[in-house]
Amino acid sequence: MEMQQQKHKDHRTTLLEWETPEFVPTPRGKTWYIVAGLILTGLIAYAFFTDNLTMAIVFIMLAAVFLMTDKKEPQIVNMIISDMGVTYKGKFYPYHHINSFWLVYHPPYVQVLYLKISNGRQFKHIRIELDGQRPQKVRALLLKEVPEIEGAHEPASDVLARVLKLN
């Protein structure tokens, strides 16, 4: 499989390539941690008050997972738009698997390309940081092969994560 993928890669023509962080880390101050700790303490206290041990355990586990991943630095990954598809994080997505795309560009807060990928009956969205790439150029290249969802916004989960500084 590895050799076959390499063989196909040799036949692709790269149209645009850049390196980008897999996510943009959000700085959090001391106040954020104090407020989050107070909210977590209140939720755990509520769980015990309502005699719901399972809820308390879930909140404790969520806090533990968050703290373990909190200081994770984003990996720098390669993004390639080619004549045959898109390669992101080393995985190739041919154009016939990309249902649509949209750009959310509100610098300096949000500069993101979203791809809607289908694999049979399943759909997934891939979020790719533009990291200084001109959105007009990315849009022009993708429009040749993939329909754009014009006027689409950032998914609510991404907005919530950004506003609450969870990412």
Q: What is the pLDDT of residues 72-122, one digit of tens each?
A: 888 999 999 999 999 999 999 999 999 999 999 988 888 999 999 987 788
Indicate the pTM of the whole model. 0.80
Contacts of 48 (CB under 8 A, 6+ apart): 56
Comparing CA positions, the residue from 148, 111, 114, 116 lying closest to residue 130 is 111
d(CA 163, CA 111): 15
The residue extents of the domains of the chain are 2-24+74-163, 30-69
Class of 2-24+74-163 in CATH: mainly beta
d(CA 41, CA 36): 9
